[in-house]
Amino acid sequence: MPDRRRVEPRLSSRPAPRLQELLARYGKRLRMLVDSHCGRDRGLDADDIEQEVHIKLWKMLESDKNLDFPASYIQKVVATTVIDALRRAEVRHAESLDTDVEPIVDPSFAGPIQPDRHAGHGHWGALLLRCIAELPERRRMPVQLALQGFKADEIAALTGCTVAAAQQLSYRGIEDLKIRLKELGADEIDP
């Protein structure tokens, strides 16, 4: 009785170095990207993330020679790796905090606030959230997304408006915020 199981084509070992080269090039770009996002003082190590993604992708490619390897799979690996890194960073961060520090902005947020931020930036953060809540509804979401770091074209893709509209709404909203915060004395702090 012949064995009718699916038999994978045996790939030569020739593509392996080339594949490693592709993964290395991809990892370099990913590291630069994470680096730029780590500028937000997130406690993420771009090298660790690059290494982890590289290993996960390589293992997957090695274990299944017939894997279709779609872009969505690669993106999923990146997403889960970054989310795990953020969780670990949050745990480290939480452990370093005083237990009596509580979130002052919104009780629904589980994320801890740094003590220095609580003392200084935390105050202005709370005021900022209050000012955002006072903005016209149309401007509120573009402003919040812009403050989260999204570019105008990304805001447009997310909200379904044009890039020009996203740019204008977020710009005007942020200008309004500056005026309001200035009225509240924000100009007195060191920018």
Partner 1 sequence: MKSIHDEQLKEWFRAATRGVPNHADQRLGVDELLRLARGEHLGDRHADALGALAASSDQSLVLSLLMQNQRASEQLASDARALRRPGLADRLQAWWRSAGMPPAFAAAGVALMAVLGFQLLGSGSTVNGAATPMTAQSPAEESPLFDGAFEPDDRMFAASLESSEQSDDLFHGNFDS
Which residues ranging from 121 to 180 are in contact with partner 1 (CB under 8 A)?
A: 121-122, 124-126, 128-129, 132, 141, 144-145, 147-150, 154, 157-160, 174, 177-178
| Structure tokens, 165 | 């509209």
* Relative orientation angle of helices 15-38 and 71-95, to the nearest 10 degrees: 40
Interaction mask 29-58, partner 1, x per CB under 8 A:
xx--xx--x--x-x----------------
Question: Residue from 95, 110, 133, 137 that binds partner 1 (CB under 8 A)?
Answer: 110
Q: How far is the CB of 170 from partner 1 (least distance, A)?
A: 10
What is the distance between the alpha carbons of residues 145 and 150, in angstroms, rounded to a whole number?
6
The reply to whether 71 sits near partner 1 by the rule CB under 8 A is yes
Question: Residue from 56, 88, 117, 172 that binds partner 1 (CB under 8 A)?
Answer: 117
The reply to whether 102 sits near partner 1 by the rule CB under 8 A is no
Intra-chain end-to-end CA distance of the chain, in Å: 78
| Structure tokens, 60 | 């997957």
Nearest C-alpha neighbor of 22 from the set 30, 10, 34, 33: 30
List the interface residues with partner 1, window 5-24 (CB under 8 A): 6-12, 15, 18-19, 22-23
What is the distance between the alpha carbons of residues 155 and 146, in angstroms, rounded to a whole number?
7
Nearer to partner 1, 41 or 100 (CB): 41
The reply to whether 69 sits near partner 1 by the rule CB under 8 A is yes
- Helix (H, G, I), strand (E, B), or coil: what is residue 185? coil
CB 19 within 8 A of CB 61: yes
The reply to whether 99 sits near partner 1 by the rule CB under 8 A is no
CB 28 within 8 A of CB 51: no
The reply to whether 3 sits near partner 1 by the rule CB under 8 A is yes
Q: How far is the CB of 163 from partner 1 (least distance, A)?
A: 13
Nearer to partner 1, 117 or 172 (CB): 117
| Structure tokens, 75 | 């993106």
Question: Residue from 47, 59, 65, 183 that binds partner 1 (CB under 8 A)?
Answer: 65
Other CB atoms within a 10 A radius of the CB of residue 88 amount to 14
